[in-house]
Amino acid sequence: MNIKSHCILLLLIFSFFNNQYLFADNIITPAPPTIAATSYLLMDFNSGKILVENNIHQKLPPASLTKIMTIYVVANELDKGTISFSDDVSVSKKAYNTHGSRMFIEINSKVKLEDLLLGVIVQSGNDASVALAEHISGSEEVFVNLMNQHALDLGMKNTQFANSTGMPAKDAEHMTTAYDLAILSKALIRNYPEIYEMHKIKEFTYGIKSPIKQYNRNKLLWKDRSVDGVKTGHTDEAGYCLVASAIRDDMRLISVVMGADGENSREKASQTNLNYGFRFYETHNLYKSGDIITDVKVWKADTDILELTVKDDFYITVPRGQYKKLESLVELDNKIIAPIKESDRQGILKILLSNETVASAPLLAKKSISKGNIFNRLKDEIHLMLFD
C-alpha cells in the first residue's frame, strides 16, 4: 500500500471515530410514544416537567382513581390527629350495600380504620371508602365537600368529585383530568410518605367469618420492581385507568393513563411511559431550598450586599447527556433599595439549554434589610441620580 493509500485510510478512520463522537455528544431524544388511551401523561415528580402528554386537561370520569383523593383526605386527617389507625369504624347499611369492588366488610360490624384504609388501597373497596368517609365526616356527602376543597387547595382546576368511590354519578359531575391526577399523586407521595408506602402492598386478607385474600389491582407491582404505586380504576364509562409511579436512581416519575381499552393495555401504556422517561431523561437537584444563588448590590442600607435564594429545592429534568450544557442567568426586577423584607421577590433565576429557558424560579431575599442611616441614604441617592 503506497503513502497516498495510507493517508486516505487514516482519514476514513478519523472521520468514522469523529462522527461517532459527535453522535454520542448530541444525543437524540425520540418523539414521545403514542399510547392507545383517551388521555395520558408522564411527569417528573421533583421538577414537575411533563415529558409525555395527550389531552391532559380533558375532563374524564376517573373511576376508582377517585380513591387517590379519598386516601389523601384520610391521610390528612390522620396527620392532624382527628382520627387514628386504631379507631373502630362502624359499617353502615349504605357502606355495606355499595356496589362495585369490595373489601367485604359486614353490616353493623366494627372495623379498624387501618384495615379499611388497606381495603381501599389494596383491594379498591368501595364499601371501605364509604365507611371511611362516614367515619370522618358523618356522611359521604360532607366528605365529598372535603375532597373538593382539597382539590381546590392543590390546584386541581378541572376536578369535581361527587362521591368517594368513583362509581358513576347520575345527578352530579364527577370528573377530573390526567394533569390534576398527577398533581394529586405528587401531593400524596410528598406529603404523606408513610401512607404512600402502603400502595406497594401486593395482597391483603380480611374477613371476620371467612378471611378473603385479594390482590392489588396494579399488576405493575409484580412486573417492574421500580413501581411502588399508585392506583387502578375501571368502569364502563371511564374505561381502564392507571396512575403508576416508579423510582429509579433517585428519579421518580408519575404516569397517568385514562381510557385504555383493557387491563393489559393500561399496564403496557404505563410501562411504555415510564421506560421512555427513564431512558431518555435525567433529573438533577440544582439548588437546595435556602441556597445562596447570588448576591447583589442593595441601596440606601447599612449593608451593601443582599443575598438571593430560592424558596424550594430546585430540580430540573433535561434530555440525557445535556446536563453539563446548562447555563444559569439571573435577572433582577429592579434596582434593590432598602427596606427589604425576608422572602421578598427581587428577580428570577433562569436555566438555559442551547439559549432556551428550560426552567425558572423566583429569586427571594435571604433576610430582611432595614434602611440605612441618613448618611448612607443620602450618599446612595446622589449616586443613583448621577449614574442611573
Active site residues: 64, 67, 124
Residue 321 CA to residue 182 CA, distance in Å, equals: 26
Distance of CA 348 to the CA centre of its chain: 23
Report cis status (omega within 30 of 0) of the bond before 230: yes
Contacts for 187 with CB less than 8 Å, ≥ 6 apart: 72, 154
Residue 41 CA to residue 79 CA, distance in Å, equals: 29
∠ CA 332-335-339, rounded to 5°: 110
- Extract the runs of DSSP E, i.e. beta strands, from 55-206: 88-90, 110-112, 203-206
CB 364 within 8 A of CB 344: yes
Burial, 48: exposed, middle or buried (Cβ in 10 Å; 0-12, 13-18, 19+)?
A: middle
What does residue 307 show for φ and ψ, rounded to 5 degrees? -85, 135
CA distances from 172 to 16, 74, 129, 194, 274 (A): 65, 23, 19, 33, 34
CA distances from 202 to 208, 224, 386, 387 (A): 21, 13, 72, 69
Residue 87 CA to residue 114 CA, distance in Å, equals: 8
Q: Which amino acid is at 114?
A: E
Report cis status (omega within 30 of 0) of the bond before 339: yes
**Roughly what angle, to the nearest 10 degrees, separates helices 178-191 and 140-154?**
90
CA distances from 259 to 51, 63, 65, 369 (A): 19, 10, 12, 54
What proportions of the chain, in percent to the nearest 5, are helix, strand and coil?
35, 30, 35
